[in-house]
């Protein structure tokens, strides 16, 4: 059983569970079983990390041996089925080893994006009560903070003592657990102050892995993967799908368009999409040539707003766009087939995937349910608010469905800004901004950005006699508060008052309209 309260998990209606099992969408295979089966025939497949600070080259068999030695070492230290393993690691080999080891043990993996600051990490550790915690000694601006994990029994720091946790002999086999039990908790910023812990089972993750792999073009080429493995979907793409289909792994620990272009030319890699920013930054780079563009056969876009100007540009260059809609809670709701009609691929978010149901509430909110829908949240109040008794999930997004059944997401009810695929909770940032001297009220909204989809802007009402802070002062304040840099507002607006509803609430949509000029 998980060490976090099991009462947070929702009950899947019996008729839905039966349908998912009868259709083969849910199986008794755990993530450990999936990995063991896939790795048994893919030992020679290359696994590479393209990094300036921690490059690595080997095979799946090499990574599996490290993972199994780690699993044995963790087992010796009391980590077993249902225990929580938190990992805040960049796209390095050790991240794969920790995730695979957790799966072999039947433990619950908790990936954390490497740029989360001490505020978010402390909350996640408190919410999940892990038996083990893994981090990098240093990466970019982040350094390991031992004070954050003083109560965690087992701690491994890559670059310091990670190797000391590896047993001499690797663990054999997989520890059996129920396929319906928790396998992963993915934390994502939302409309609440703290990150939301989304709980997935072996069944929901296994189905997501299989259906996501099936939606990709078979001739997509060897992928260069830079989406953070601390993200739910980044981890699935880097550490599960390649094992399922025997494709090589090429990881990058930072997004550097020049590096990506060099790898495309020198090693024949390609970039398959993600947030629109990945594609636009490649195309806009001065070193991008027609030879590079010829390698970009497909662009699977999602995770953030997808401007029509971007999809039109990609198609005009001969790059086939296909879009997807989902969330950490329900990862793959709809997808446009990579070989579908161009107008649908470019301007809608696709058709429901197998097993997925979509309907619109009276106010246009998108409601979904399906085999890859999560079990709930670590916060029981969030679980009760988001799911109904019939298994429907309230996405917080607004959409339309055309006569052919294709979904288009038009707006978000949830007050979230999506910057290059990263969710930013406006409320979380607003609360910290209120600690600045002279700030009476603060609102954070998204403004359009041609590369990242959106960036955050701070709108401040100052007390009488006070001037709005400059960006340097604002950033220093947010850094001291421990807020991840990606969440910092990049524009400041001072207002005498906010547009308000009759009850006094700030009209965020009116603010967004007022300052909607794209940042450049």
pLDDT grade, residue 1 (50/70/90)?
very low
Strand order in the sheet with 376-377: 154-158, 132-136, 84-88, 108-111, 182-188, 196-201, 376-377
Query: Is 462 domain-assigned?
Result: yes
Query: Is 155 domain-assigned?
Result: yes
Alpha helix segments (H runs only) across 350-491: 380-386, 426-433, 471-480
pLDDT at 443 over 80: yes
The rounded distance, in Å, linking the Cα atoms of 171 and 408 is 47
CB within 8 Å of 340: residues ≥ 6 apart: 322
pLDDT tens, position by position, 303-318: 666 777 788 889 999 9
pLDDT at 433 over 60: yes
pLDDT grade, residue 364 (50/70/90)?
confident
pLDDT tens, position by position, 467-516: 999 999 999 999 999 999 989 999 999 999 888 754 456 778 788 888 87
pLDDT tens, position by position, 209-244: 999 999 999 998 999 999 899 988 889 999 999 999
Give the model's pLDDT for residue 503.
47
Query: Is 302 domain-assigned?
Result: no
Q: Is 102 helix (H, G, I), strand (E, B) or coil?
A: helix
pLDDT tens, position by position, 96-108: 999 999 999 999 9
Query: Is 255 domain-assigned?
Result: no
Question: Which H/E stretch holds residue 513?
Answer: helix 508-514
Give the model's pLDDT for residue 303.
67
pLDDT at 459 over 90: yes
Q: Give the whole-number percent of the chain exceeding pLDDT 70.
A: 95
Q: How far apart are the first and last CA of the chain?
A: 50
Question: In this predicted model, which residue has the larger pLDDT, 91 or 302?
Answer: 91
Q: Give the whole-number percent of the chain exceeding pLDDT 90.
A: 74
pLDDT at 191 over 60: no
Single out the residue in 181, 197, 215 at which a domain terminates: 215
Query: Is 98 domain-assigned?
Result: yes
Give the pLDDT mean for 182-194: 78
Angle (CA) 292-293-295 rounded to 5° is 70
Single out the residue in 215, 232, 253 at which a domain terminates: 215
pLDDT at 283 over 70: yes
Write phi, then psi, for 499 (nearest 5 degrees): -65, 135
- For 156-223, give the DSSP string: EEETTTGGGG--SSPPPS-----TTSEEEEEEE--SSSSPEEEEEEHHHHHHHHHHHHHHS-TT--SB
Give the model's pLDDT for residue 190.
52
Give the pLDDT mean for 317-326: 94
pLDDT at 173 over 50: yes
Give the range of the structural domain holding residue 479, as residue numbers without chain letter: 419-514
The rounded distance, in Å, linking the Cα atoms of 213 and 211 is 5
pLDDT tens, position by position, 120-169: 999 999 999 999 999 999 998 889 999 999 999 999 999 999 999 999 99
Give the model's pLDDT for residue 426.
83
The rounded distance, in Å, linking the Cα atoms of 210 and 98 is 22
Number of domains in the chain: 2
Query: Is 298 domain-assigned?
Result: no
pLDDT grade, residue 441 (50/70/90)?
confident
Query: Is 388 domain-assigned?
Result: no
- β-pair partners for 457: 445
Q: Which of 32-46, 56-70, 264-278, 414-428 has the lowest mean pLDDT?
A: 414-428
Give the pLDDT mean for 449-454: 86
Give the model's pLDDT for residue 176.
97
The rounded distance, in Å, linking the Cα atoms of 414 and 382 is 13
Give the model's pLDDT for residue 107.
98
Whichever domain contains 449, its CATH number is 3.30.300.30
The rounded distance, in Å, linking the Cα atoms of 75 and 77 is 5
Q: Give the mean pLDDT of the chain.
A: 91
Single out the residue in 162, 186, 215 at which a domain terminates: 215
Give the pLDDT mean for 456-467: 92
Whichever domain contains 52, its CATH number is 3.40.50.12780
Angle (CA) 369-357-413 rounded to 5° is 65
pLDDT at 251 over 90: yes
Query: Is 466 domain-assigned?
Result: yes
Compute the chain's Rg from CA coordinates.
22
pLDDT at 520 over 70: no
Q: Is 468 helix (H, G, I), strand (E, B) or coil?
A: coil
């Amino acid at each position: 059983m998980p060490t976090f309260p099991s009462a947070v998990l929702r009950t899947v209606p019996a008729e839905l569970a039966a349908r998912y099992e009868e259709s083969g969408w849910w199986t008794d295979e755990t993530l450990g079983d999936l990995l063991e089966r896939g790795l048994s025939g893919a030992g020679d497949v290359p696994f590479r990390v393209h990094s300036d600070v921690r490059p690595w080259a080997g095979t799946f068999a090499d990574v599996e041996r490290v993972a199994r030695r780690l699993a044995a070492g963790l087992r010796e230290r009391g980590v077993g089925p249902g225990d929580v393993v938190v990992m805040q690691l960049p796209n390095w080999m050790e991240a794969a080893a920790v995730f695979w080891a957790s799966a072999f043990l039947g433990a619950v993996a908790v990936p954390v994006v490497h740029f989360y600051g001490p505020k978010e990490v402390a909350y996640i550790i408190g919410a999940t009560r892990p038996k083990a915690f893994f981090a990098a000694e240093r990466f970019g601006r982040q350094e390991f903070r031992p004070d954050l994990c003083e109560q965690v029994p087992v701690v491994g720091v890559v670059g310091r003592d990670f190797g000391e946790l590896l047993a001499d002999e690797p663990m054999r086999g997989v520890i059996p657990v129920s396929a319906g039990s928790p396998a992963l908790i993915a934390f994502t910023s939302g409309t609440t102050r703290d990150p939301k812990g989304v709980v997935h089972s072996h069944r929901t993750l296994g189905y997501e892995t299989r259906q996501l792999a099936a939606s990709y073009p078979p001739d997509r080429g060897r992928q260069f993967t830079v989406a953070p493995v601390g993200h739910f979907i980044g981890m699935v793409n880097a550490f599960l799908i390649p094992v399922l289909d025997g494709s090589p792994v090429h990881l990058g620990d930072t997004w550097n368009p020049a590096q990506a272009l060099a790898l495309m030319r020198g090693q024949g890699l390609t970039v398959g999409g993600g947030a629109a920013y990945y594609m636009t930054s490649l195309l806009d780079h001065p070193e991008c040539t027609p030879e590079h563009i010829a390698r970009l056969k497909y662009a699977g876009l999602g995770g953030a707003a997808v401007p029509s100007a971007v999809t039109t540009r990609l198609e005009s260059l001969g790059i086939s766009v296909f879009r997807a809609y989902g969330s950490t809670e329900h990862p793959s709701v709809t997808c446009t087939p990579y070989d579908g009609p161009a107008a649908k691929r470019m301007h809608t978010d696709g058709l429901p995937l197998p097993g997925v149901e979509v309907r619109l509430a009276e106010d246009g909110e998108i409601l979904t349910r399906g085999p890859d829908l999560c079990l709930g949240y670590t916060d029981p109040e969030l679980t009760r608010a988001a799911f109904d008794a019939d298994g429907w999930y309230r996405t917080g997004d607004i959409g339309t469905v055309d006569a052919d059944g294709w979904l288009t997401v038009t707006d978000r009810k949830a007050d979230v800004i999506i910057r290059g695929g990263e969710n930013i909770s406006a409320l979380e940032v607003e609360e910290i901004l209120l600690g600045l001297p002279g700030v009476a009220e603060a609102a954070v909204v998204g403004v359009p950005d041609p590369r990242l989809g959106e960036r955050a802007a701070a709108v401040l009402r100052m007390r009488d006699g006070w001037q709005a802070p400059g960006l340097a002062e604002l950033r220093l304040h947010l850094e001291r508060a421990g807020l991840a840099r990606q969440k910092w507002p990049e524009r400041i607006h001072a207002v005498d008052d906010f547009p308000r509803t009759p009850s006094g609430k700030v009209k965020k949509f009116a603010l967004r309209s007022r300052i909607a000029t794209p940042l450049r």
